């Protein structure tokens, strides 16, 4: 598939634009290509959005809801083709991509419902004859920056609430994985979305992303990115005080208490560490284990990592595929080497397989490093690859200090048997989402986002609409008399 830009209800293939080639990370074979947007393309998209802004804001919420539901239905009928294409461009196995895409459809359907639940309120007055009314209106043209690791799902996280609120939106798709997104855009268009309400412009962050963040007629921007990219988005958005919603990097601790079910905890840590080969913002980067059960837990986890079978994600039964590209492998290698140099021990994985078909793609064995020094890169920087670093703690106060010691505050996980103790510990952890005996922190109806340097604002749940709504207060003098 070779794609261009979707602007004003049509696909455009303008001459003279830079092209990026997408290769299958498992085989190196070409999958397709995309044109790359620049500031002029972003400006063209904004102009189309401004033309429809008022009429789309005035469209009854129930009509916007119908469009989102139709789009969800179309996605569900095309999920197999979308999942296969996403596997070939991004690497995740087809079952994982099927789950991602179907959840994206569910997000659109959820915000179709939320579109009809944007309520105002009547507030008490401080004097007779006064009525106070609070209303919410669309914030205006929105911008979004979507990452390459879960592109379809996170696209829906941003487009769903924006369209539900009545905001046209310009999306900078990831240039690495823009192909399945093109199918998603077709679903939204065919569902009846008015021209100009959605623009899709793949490109590089410092070019297309910066143009979106700086554009004075884009009033809100939502981005899923690294901390460094989020800081740059904020700097650019500050030029016109644009509202920002940022879901940024994570470095999730996985805490194992002495009374935890070690088999269950190890299986959960393994899946959360190596699902999508660790290329997830909420992946487990560091594992903190009570010293009394450390050796037993480490042995179980190492065995699980060693037993993990890698393969091409299109093959039946494959649960773990390649990483996106060589730069991911280089970063994992740098973190592994640094940890070992400082005294850590590789107890599973630690290398890129090169035998057979692995030589054609970007594969790296699930890696566990034990006794990882607290100052090692793996324990302090987001790896965003298949590496989990582990260390032991001697008491809960020490463990809490370890967990909270970094600038990251997106997700944390804890396994144990005493829920009262776990609740008390969770109260002291500085993270936006915490999983207790569960290795996930996202839920459709609950807000998702980070503390500290891991972001601003929230996505999902009713809170996901807030970034796209402006508050208006109406104070009215009315007659206090019936005469």
Q: Which residue numbers are catalytic? A: 247, 281
Q: Pick the closest to residue 325 from 203, 148, 180 (CA basis).
A: 148
Do 151 and 123 meet the contact criterion of CB atoms below 8 Å apart? no
Do 191 and 222 meet the contact criterion of CB atoms below 8 Å apart? no
Angle CA 144–149–151, to nearest 5:
45
Coil, strand or helix: which one is 416? coil
Q: Pick the closest to residue 159 from 176, 147, 171 (CA basis).
A: 171
**CA-to-CA distance for 33 and 40, rounded, in angstroms?**
20
Give 71's strand partners: none
Give 244's strand partners: 221
> How many residues are recorded in the chain?
483
Q: What is the DSSP letter of 382?
A: -
Q: Pick the closest to residue 151 from 206, 86, 209, 56 (CA basis).
A: 86
φ, ψ of residue 346 to 5 degrees: the values are -80, 115
* Tokens 């396994």, residue located: 415
**Pair type for strands 169-172 and 367-370:** unpaired
């Amino acid at each position: 598939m070779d794609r261009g830009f979707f602007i004003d209800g049509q696909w455009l293939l303008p001459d003279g634009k830079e092209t990026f080639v997408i290769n299958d990370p498992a085989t190196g074979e070409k999958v397709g290509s995309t044109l790359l947007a620049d500031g002029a393309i972003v400006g063209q998209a904004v102009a189309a959005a401004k033309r429809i802004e008022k009429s789309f804001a005035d469209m009854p919420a129930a009509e916007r809801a119908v469009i989102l539901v139709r789009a969800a239905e179309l996605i569900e009928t095309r999920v197999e083709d979308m999942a296969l294409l996403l596997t070939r461009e991004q690497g995740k196995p087809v079952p994982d991509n099927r789950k991602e895409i179907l959840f994206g459809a569910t997000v659109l359907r959820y915000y179709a419902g939320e579109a009809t639940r944007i309520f105002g309120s009547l507030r008490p007055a401080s004097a007779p004859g006064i009525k106070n009314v609070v209303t919410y209106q669309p914030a205006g043209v929105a911008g979004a920056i979507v990452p390459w690791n879960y592109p379809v799902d996170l696209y829906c996280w941003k487009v769903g609430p924006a369209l539900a609120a009545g905001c046209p939106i310009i999306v900078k798709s990831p240039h690495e994985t823009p192909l399945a997104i093109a199918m998603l855009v077709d679903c939204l268009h065919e569902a009846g979305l008015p021209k100009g309400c959605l623009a899709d412009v793949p490109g590089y962050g410092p070019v297309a992303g910066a143009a979106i963040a700086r554009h004075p007629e884009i009033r809100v921007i939502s981005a899923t990115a690294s901390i460094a990219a989020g800081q740059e988005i904020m700097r650019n958005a500050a030029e016109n005080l644009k509202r920002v919603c940022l879901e940024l990097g994570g470095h999730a601790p996985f805490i194992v208490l002495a009374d935890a079910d070690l088999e269950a905890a190890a299986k959960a840590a393994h899946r959360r560490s190596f699902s999508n080969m660790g290329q997830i913002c909420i992946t487990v980067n560091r594992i903190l284990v009570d010293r009394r059960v450390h050796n037993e837990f480490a042995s179980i986890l190492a065995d699980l990592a060693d037993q993990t079978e890698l393969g091409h994600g299109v093959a039946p039964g494959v649960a773990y595929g390649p990483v996106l590209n060589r730069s991911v492998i280089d970063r994992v290698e740098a973190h592994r080497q640094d940890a070992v140099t400082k005294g850590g021990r590789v107890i599973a994985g630690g290398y890129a397989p090169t035998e057979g078909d692995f030589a054609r793609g970007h594969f790296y064995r699930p890696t566990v490093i034990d006794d990882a020094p607290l100052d090692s890169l793996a324990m302090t920087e987001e790896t965003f690859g298949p590496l989990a670093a582990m260390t032991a703690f001697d008491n809960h106060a020490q463990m809490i200090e370890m967990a909270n010691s970094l600038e990251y505050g997106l997700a944390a996980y804890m396994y144990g048997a005493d829920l009262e103790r776990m609740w008390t510990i969770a109260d002291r952890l500085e993270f936006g989402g915490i999983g207790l005996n569960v290795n996930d922190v996202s839920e459709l109806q609950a807000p998702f986002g980070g503390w500290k340097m891991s972001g601003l604002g929230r996505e999902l749940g009713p809170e996901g609409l807030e970034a796209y709504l402006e508050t208006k207060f109406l104070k009215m003098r009315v007659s206090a008399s019936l005469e």
